[in-house]
Structure formats: structure tokens, C-alpha cells
Chain A
Amino acid sequence: AQRVTQPEKLLSVFKGAPVELKCNYSYSGSPELFWYVQYSRQRLQLLLRHISRESIKGFTADLNKGETSFHLKKPFAQEEDSAMYYCALRITQGGSEKLVFGKGMKLTVNP
């Protein structure tokens, strides 16, 4: 079964603290993973994707196939990082494609 699990619904930290948003996936094929973010009153947008191995807004995520994880990390959280974060797995099958999302996690960074 194709599944993305974000085990924590809420995370609250103080500014400057490290954050790690966990994501685990289940997929028999070669995984393509993404993190999407939704800031308050804004639309859902791509934060980063595993294939580009980039750091965006100080966030990084490493695909660990052995642990089937794609955790999102930032060493020093900022107040503007407060948002809903969704981990997503792209499924390509029979000419179709879709994103399978986790249920999301709300990050609150306090001053």
C-alpha cells in the first residue's frame, strides 16, 4: 500500500530551537518525496523535493530508503516558519500520477 505517515500533528518550539518534522512512507517503487508548506491564509506550496537535495529557507530533508523516511530539519527555527507542513509521495502508475499526502503537522515557533 502507498502511504505517507506524519506521526506528530503538532510541534511547538521557541525561536532558535532545532526542529525535525518526521515523515515515513510506504511504497514498493522508487520513491519521489516532497515537502509542501501552507502558511496562514496562503495556498499550499512546494518547500523542497528530495531529488534536488537543496536547502530552502534553511530546511533540509534527506531520503533514507533503509528507514523509509524523509524527515524535514532546520537547525534554528524562526517565527516565520510557523505553518502547516505536509510530506508527499509522488505515485506514477499506468500513465497517471498523483501525490499521496501525509495528514500534515502544524509547526508553531514562539518568540
Chain B
Amino acid sequence: GAGVSQSPSNKVTEKGKDVELRCDPISGHTALYWYRQSLGQGLEFLIYFQGNSAPDKSGLPSDRFSAERTGGSVSTLTIQRTQQEDSAVYLCASTLQAGANEQYFGPGTRLTVT
């Protein structure tokens, strides 16, 4: 079946612009995660959604970052007033339910802020 999909695959934006990154999880997966993969920094947790519960936003690096998940499916990560340090690969993952043993990752969105 279809895996996690993300769009766009690449995004180049100018400093100060807003960007939206989209994640389509695997159908039926209730848990959704966003991570950021920066050069030399590995993967950092950003935000976690589980069903209708309040999201865990503890990993968001600043108030310029926000995310929502509509209808328990598609998620959008928004970065306002982008900075050069926001340049990274943004990965989305989903699992069937909380506590599942495997997170299924999307291909990522490579964001470049010029």
C-alpha cells in the first residue's frame, strides 16, 4: 500500500517568507510525528499528534513554527518568517497507534532558505 507521502519534495524560499510543508500519513494511522534533519545534527523531534488528543509541541524550536492535523489525517507544518537556520530536511512519520513498534517515514521535504 501507499506509504507516508510529503510535499513538496524540495522547497527553496527567501529569508522572511512563510512556508507550508504537507504530510499525508498512511491511511488509518492515528499517530503522526514531525522531525527535522539538519546537517550534522541528526534528527530532532518537532511535534507529535495522536488522534484527537492535544499535540505535543515541545520540540518546536520557536514560535515561528506551528503544525496542525486536520481530520486526524493530513498534517501541515508551517514556518513563518523563515531564517537560514531553518534550512533542513523535514521528515514526517506515522504509526498505526501510540506505542507501535515502528514509525513509517516519508521521503522528507528539503527546505532551503536563501
Name the residue on B nearest A52 (C-beta).
Answer: B101
Of residues 87 to 104 in B, which have CB atoms within 8 Å of A's CB atoms? Answer: 91, 93, 98-99, 101-103
Interface 9-mer from A18-26, A59-67, A90-98: A90-98
Interfacial chain A residues near B40, Cβ < 8 Å: 103
Interfacial chain B residues near A104, Cβ < 8 Å: 42-43
Residue among B41, B43, B101, B107 having the largest count of chain A Cβ atoms under 10 Å: B43
Are the C-beta atoms of A98 and B33 separated by less than 8 Å?
yes
Interfacial chain A residues near B106, Cβ < 8 Å: 43
Query: Complex formed: what's the CA distance from A43 to B103 in Å?
Result: 12
Q: Indicate whether A99 sits within 8 Å of B105 (C-beta atoms), given known contacts A44-B91, A92-B99.
A: no
Interfacial chain B residues near A45, Cβ < 8 Å: 105
Are the C-beta atoms of A103 and B103 separated by less than 8 Å?
no
Query: Complex formed: what's the CA distance from A97 to B108 in Å?
Result: 20
User: Is B53 in contact with chain A by the CB < 8 A criterion?
Assistant: yes
Q: Indicate whether A97 sits within 8 Å of B105 (C-beta atoms), given known contacts A103-B41, A103-B42.
A: no
Number of residue pairs A-B, CB distance < 8 angstroms: 55
Name the residue on A nearest B55 (C-beta).
Answer: A96
Interface residues on B, range: 20 to 34
State how many angstroms separate the Cβ of A21 from the closest Cβ of chain B: 14
Q: Indicate whether A49 sits within 8 Å of B101 (C-beta atoms), given known contacts A44-B91, A98-B33.
A: yes
Query: Complex formed: what's the CA distance from A104 to B38 in Å?
Result: 12
User: Is A100 in contact with chain B by the CB < 8 A criterion?
Assistant: yes
Are the C-beta atoms of B50 and A98 separated by less than 8 Å?
no
User: Is B28 in contact with chain A by the CB < 8 A criterion?
Assistant: no
Query: Complex formed: what's the CA distance from A102 to B3 in Å?
Result: 24
Name the residue on B nearest A104 (C-beta).
Answer: B42
Are the C-beta atoms of B99 and A97 separated by less than 8 Å?
yes
User: Is B59 in contact with chain A by the CB < 8 A criterion?
Assistant: yes
Binding site for B on A (CB under 8 A): 43-46, 49, 51-52, 86, 92, 94-104
Closest CB pairs A-B (n = 8) = A96-B56, A103-B42, A101-B43, A98-B45, A44-B105, A46-B102, A101-B42, A43-B105
A-B contact pairs, 26 of them (CB 8 A): A43-B3, A43-B4, A43-B105, A43-B106, A43-B107, A43-B108, A44-B43, A45-B105, A46-B101, A46-B102, A49-B101, A49-B102, A86-B43, A92-B99, A95-B53, A95-B56, A96-B56, A97-B31, A97-B50, A99-B33, A99-B35, A100-B45, A101-B43, A103-B40, A103-B41, A104-B43
